[in-house]
Amino acid sequence: MYSAHPMITEIDISFLHRAVRLAVKGHGTVEPNPMVGCIITNKEGEIVGEGFHEKFGEAHAEVNALTMAGESACGGTAYVTLEPCSHHGKTPPCSQALLDSGIARVVIGAVDPHKEANGGAVILRDHGIDVEIVNDAVCSDIIAPFLQKNNTGLPWITCKWAQTSDGNIETSKGDSPWISCKESQQLVHEERGCVDAIVVGVGTVIADNPTLTVRGATKYRTPVRVVIDPALRTPLHSNVLNGDAPTLIAHVEGADTTAFCGHEVFALPINNGVMNLKPLFRHLSKAYNATNVLAEGGATLFEHIFSQNLANELWIFTAAHRSILPPRVNMNTLVDSLTTTLIDEQPSGVDSVTRLLVTPLIP
């Protein structure tokens, strides 16, 4: 039993977490909306309906689950990862759909912070529905990018890199440019197909000439390619300028952009001798409606993102081998300088994949 919620049982929590596993299936197709999942059980506690928010502008999780459940929902329980909406947006309010179904009880994983959409719990209670709000950490985690965008005007920034076991993200001249294995590279392309932007520094463009596109995976979104290039050193023959996807070059104010006529450029201010990246990410949120941004390096870019308190999550692919040369920037040391919480750690081929949540520093 959960002592803080005497009416909530372990079975309730297990159903909520099952709904979370449904919710994340919407990653890449529901943004900028939050990912939401729903489980419906009948009077006997048997699952009769499941659903998740599948696509932005289409039916929400509760409606999809209720459609599957049909009349079996009457007198049953709805487990929803996020408080049912109460307003008429692109779809009718889910709180009304639950009322119409005859549901007797609703267990909510997290309160909806959106001013226009919240209040569903109050409406349900006012109509005699038994409502339990759990404030479950797992349910809150999956709406973190949505909260970030709505509360700060910034997208959720995930810093992704591959490194050797001793923290080196650079390969020696003449070696394979890939530190991670094929399975890890596939995971990255799958995530690229779900995010709104991919950000790299100009050093990475010059050294590796990356394409920064989605290959060998489903492309739910076409992420804009962003190059942090203070002095506009990006070679005009670079793959990032090939027209396969939108590209934005971020430079310092006053730089000569003549050579980049026909390409989108964005000027950034210098604060205390350092390029201020926050206006760029705010621009991505507004102009591209970006919710999720993947920063892919290199080390200098990560140092600036970390020092400016902009990283939300780290996604680290660690190979089993050590580097031949000592790292110019030891990423293990850099990560240790941050306050992080482990989200997940698992194998990927011969690599180890770690996801860490970054706790922002208080200014």
Question: Tens-digit pLDDT profile for the chain (363 aa)?
Answer: 233 455 899 999 999 999 999 999 999 999 999 999 999 999 999 999 999 999 999 999 999 999 999 999 999 999 999 999 886 666 778 999 999 999 999 999 999 887 655 678 999 999 999 999 999 999 999 999 999 999 999 999 999 999 999 999 987 654 556 899 999 999 999 999 999 999 999 999 999 999 999 999 999 999 999 999 999 999 999 999 999 999 999 999 999 999 999 999 999 999 988 999 999 999 999 999 999 999 998 999 999 999 999 999 999 999 998 888 788 899 999 999 999 999 999 999 999 999 999 998 766
62 is catalytic: yes
Token pair belonging to 36: 């939401």
The per-residue pLDDT for range 202-231, each reduced to its tens digit, is 999 999 999 999 999 999 999 999 999 999
The answer to whether 141 touches 342, Cβ cutoff 8 Å, is no
**Predicted pLDDT at 363:** 61
Going by C-alpha positions, the residue among 350, 238, 227, 196 that lies closest to residue 297 is 227
Pairing of strands 292-295, 156-163: parallel
Report pLDDT for 5: 57
pLDDT at res. 115: 66
Q: Do domains 10-144 and 153-358 have the same CATH topology?
A: no
Residues 6+ apart with CB under 8 A from 269: 252, 253, 275, 276, 279
Which of 62, 138, 72 lies closest to 341 in space, CA to CA?
Answer: 138
H-type helices in the chain, by residue range?
10-23, 61-69, 94-101, 120-126, 137-141, 144-152, 182-192, 202-208, 278-287, 299-307, 331-336
Annotated catalytic residue: which of 10, 46, 58, 62?
62
Question: What integer pLDDT is reported at residue 114 of this predicted model?
Answer: 72
Q: Which residues of 45-61 are buried (b: 16+ CB within 10 A; e: fewer)?
A: eebbbbbbbeeeeebbb
Topology, domain 153-358: Dihydrofolate Reductase, subunit A (3.40.430)
Domain 10-144 has CATH 3.40.140.10: yes
pTM: 0.92
- Listed by start position, the domains of the chain span 10-144, 153-358
